[in-house]
Structure 1
Amino acid sequence: MIALLGPRAGITPLNTENLVLAAILVTLIICADFFEIDAPLASARVTVSVSAAVCFAAAISLGPVLGCVVAGMGALVVELIQRTALIKTVVNVVNYIMAAFVGGYVYLSLADVSMSPIASIENFAATLLAAGAYTIVNTGTISIVIAQVLEQPALQLWLANFRGAIFEHISLPTLGVMIPVLYRESIFALIIVVIPLLGPYLAFRSYRQVHEETRETLSVLADMLDRRDPYTAEHSQRVSDMVAIMLQNYPDVSFDEYETVITAARIHDLGKVTTSDATLLKPGKLEPHEFEEMKRHSVAGAEIMGNISIFSDVSTIIRYHHERWDGTGYPERVSGYDIPLGSRLIAVADTYDAMTTDRPYRSALSHQVAIDEIRRNSGTQFDPAAVDALLKAIGEPIEVPSCVVQNMKPSD
């Protein structure tokens, strides 16, 4: 590969100055990698490390070849210290090497390496492009690997995981420009680089913390709401678990949408915090005005979640989870595929759990009675595909319709 790239491979002379810089950068990568932050995902563990700045600095300071060796050595030492599994070690080390090599190669191809990365507009532009290339390779490799495990399209997974913090991901390696600039002044000046690196570290940590604390708070609220009515204890968790199994019947659903639907299922009844105890806990049939009060909970829940920008899609699913396939539901009487997929799945799982649980006004129905009722309402109250997904989830046989419905819109 180096031979094919020729002079652009950037083989840096192994003199004392470069070897000292390489040793310092390896040390910085090792130290930085112990300050990694988990990305805000519920179904997979992806970490972000400020070592990206140091790896990028190695790539533009020492060239793509020596730079990727430095990045790989730093990553390998960390994985060995942490006793990481072999396959994960290989993936992480290769990722560091590839990202550093591509970033360094782009910089070497576009910049005047006789000058500092910030000495001219051309060099500065080359630095930004190289940082972008580094980020794409770094995050892209992670997405490809995780996509194989989760059986999800890599591009969709990349968009779901990194688009919310893409600026932070690009700006992080860009900070590595300071390292070669400071090193030219004094080796001790590298201590200063620790200060700006704390900024991205704290930003990523806050980003993760906000997501995690918000998710946990909403789950606690859902549990408290369930405990408010002793007949619905753990209802939201059961619905969420059922929907997660039902989603296995939808292989084309993106990782992003999967996370959104599961979150919505977990807190689908959040709006009932606005419903009075007299209505919520009434042991008999609701009066018309009480039913209208109960119906408002889906809109109330959507409005609560709508105030949190990162959960706007969750808000939409909650709003429509009581709509019916035939358009006679509430709050907006939408029908068919105009109802979000998550809402359609929650509607079926919610109904099954409600029927098989003791309620203030009746005892729990048997599993078979609940299944028969859901089957009977397939195509009217419920999306037939969502009903099939529930039946598969609980191991029930799926009935084959006696006729084929014409001109049906393809499933989501």
Structure 2
Amino acid sequence: MSMKTSVIAYVYAIVAAAAASLVGLYVYQPDVNVLFLAGAGWLTLVAFLGTVLSYRVQGSTFGAVSFIPFLTAFVLYPSWATVAIVGTGAFIAEMIKPKMAIKRAFNVAQIVLAGCFAIAVYITLGGLPLLLDPEFQAIPHATAVVVFLFVNTLSVAAAIGFAEGKSVIKTWYEGNSAGLVYDVVAIPVVYGFARAYVDWGGWGVAVLCALVLGLRLTYQSKHQLETTNKELLELFVQTVEFRDPYTSGHSQRVSRYSRIIAQVIGLGPKDIERISTAALLHDVGKIHEIFAPILSKPGRLTPEERAIMELHPIKSAELVAKISDLQDIIPAVRHHHENWDGTGYPDRLEGRDIPLGSRIIMFADTIDAMTTDRPYRKALGEAEVRSELRKFRGIQFDPTICDVLVASPDFARLFDQNDSGRVQSLTQIFELVRRRMKTPAVA
């Protein structure tokens, strides 16, 4: 099944499941206390505000902080009518900005589906509406929050997994493991917001609006700071590479290859990011003046010049050490030219004494050298690179990583220039589908 067909079929399935779940919840508990729906309406309005104040994360991807008001509405009055109000509010919010119709349908459906599951669990475990019993009902409350977040994030991960041909569970883990702490924090936060409404009514909603705005500003500022820092590092790396026309883009490619290799061997998101950053900065030491005449020299290097060039990992590590937030990647940068058999430099480390990040960067650095055109040869292809890696297995390369990498179907990703090595957001997936369908986004 092609990516286009699989993603669209999946969205239709989510929409159908959401509709069926809402009908099922109605059949299970049809009675509605209309007076209790005011809270759901106010909280949906707060969520609408959170959507309006969404911030750009990357390209056409936006971040928002609207799930907390939705969850608060569900525990205030767990009913099919609450889900219907939330779904209607989510639909109106989706109509504000230009999006594909299929993306709008998915975004609304996943909220309705997650809400139905959360409410069903809440009721089944004996949870009462907080408007009737404001006491903290630990088990039903915590379980409902977890179920909502799990169904919501899993539905997104499944769409990405189907589109990219990856394991859904692995995609979910890579995209959400780093935020699990925030999800746990959501449990008491949702209860706190619900109590604010129960105890203070409209004033509680006002407090909630202020908190949503504060969360939005906090998340946006954090993201902007991270983006700025990353862009400054990339700018610095590009400045270093201006000295050698044959290495233009080298560090960015090595960073991408390192990210893919780290994913292939099963590392977690934090380790992948750390190794990717180390790979980006592995050659920054070449900006030192002692390397300038050697980098610009045509032809082969003398033994003395080669000895000087072998100092660049040390110089790179010294520069990285000046950045307080990057202390943990210094070893990976310093030892990225150490060979598995101990014949590398600068410290002749051997085997598992070489940091894991360095061993991964060694693969990535060598692969880039092999797949880049040089004055003396053309770039090698996928089969030739695989052969070379096996040839130097246990000599230059970690044999375990080598075996896993060359046998993995993801090995081909190293040769796909459109593969950034990152897990794509759902927006990016839908944008890719749109381009392949050659139809404009819905205005």
Fold shared by both chains (TM-score > 0.5): yes
- 1:111 matched to 2:127: yes
Quote the offset at 1:258 in angstroms. 6.6
Residue by residue over 1:311-365, the C-alpha shift from the partner in whole angstroms, topping out at 9 and shown as x without a partner, is x5x66654443233544223443349975563243232343378x45xxxxxx32
Quote the offset at 1:56 in angstroms. 0.8
Following superposition of structure 1 onto structure 2, how do residues 46-125 of structure 1 map, counting pairs within 5 Å?
A: 47-108=62-123, 109-113=125-129, 119-120=134-135, 122-123=136-137
Q: Distance in 1 between matches of 2:187 and 2:143?
A: 11
Q: Distance in 2 between matches of 1:94 and 1:235?
A: 43
Partner of 1:25: 43
Unpaired stretches in structure 2, ≥5 consecutive residues:
1-20, 417-443
Partner of 1:333: 349
* Percent identity over paired residues: 19
Q: Distance in 1 between matches of 2:406 and 2:24?
A: 57
* Structure 1 pair 72–293 and aligned structure 2 pair: CA distance change class (3 A): same
Partner of 2:169: 155
Residue by residue over 1:1-44, the C-alpha shift from the partner in whole angstroms, topping out at 9 and shown as x without a partner, is 6797799x5545252x23443433333222211223456xx8x9
Q: Distance in 1 between matches of 2:370 and 2:161?
A: 32
- 1:137 matched to 2:151: yes
Residues 52, 173 of structure 1: 8 Å contact kept:
no
* Structure 1 pair 113–14 and aligned structure 2 pair: CA distance change class (3 A): closer
Query: Relative contact order, CA 8 A, sep 6+: which one is greater?
Result: 2
Q: Distance in 2 between matches of 1:212 and 1:158?
A: 23
* Structure 1 pair 199–167 and aligned structure 2 pair: CA distance change class (3 A): farther
Residues 106, 126 of structure 1: 8 Å contact kept:
yes
Q: Distance in 1 between matches of 2:61 and 2:186?
A: 17
* Structure 1 pair 368–191 and aligned structure 2 pair: CA distance change class (3 A): closer
Residues 64, 216 of structure 2: 8 Å contact kept:
yes
Residues paired across the two proteins, number: 374
* Structure 1 pair 210–102 and aligned structure 2 pair: CA distance change class (3 A): farther
Q: TM-score, normalized by length of structure 2?
A: 0.67
Following superposition of structure 1 onto structure 2, how do residues 257-272 of structure 1 map, counting pairs within 5 Å?
A: 263-272=277-286
- 1:307 aligned residue (322, 325, 328): 325
Following superposition of structure 1 onto structure 2, how do residues 186-205 of structure 1 map, counting pairs within 5 Å?
A: 186-187=201-202, 189-205=204-220
Residues 229, 281 of structure 1: 8 Å contact kept:
yes
- 1:367 matched to 2:378: yes
Quote the offset at 1:52 in angstroms. 0.8
* Structure 1 pair 345–279 and aligned structure 2 pair: CA distance change class (3 A): same
For 1:210, the aligned partner's letter is L
Residue by residue over 1:198-225, the C-alpha shift from the partner in whole angstroms, topping out at 9 and shown as x without a partner, is 3322332233223322221211111011
Quote the offset at 1:78 in angstroms. 1.9
Following superposition of structure 1 onto structure 2, how do residues 373-412 of structure 1 map, counting pairs within 5 Å?
A: 375=388, 378-379=391-392, 380-381=395-396, 393=415
Partner of 1:349: 367
Unpaired stretches in structure 1, ≥5 consecutive residues:
358-363, 395-412
* Structure 1 pair 48–250 and aligned structure 2 pair: CA distance change class (3 A): closer
Q: Distance in 2 between matches of 1:228 and 1:155?
A: 44
Residue by residue over 1:87-127, the C-alpha shift from the partner in whole angstroms, topping out at 9 and shown as x without a partner, is 3222211221122223333444343436667x43x425643
- 1:13 aligned residue (32, 57, 64): 32
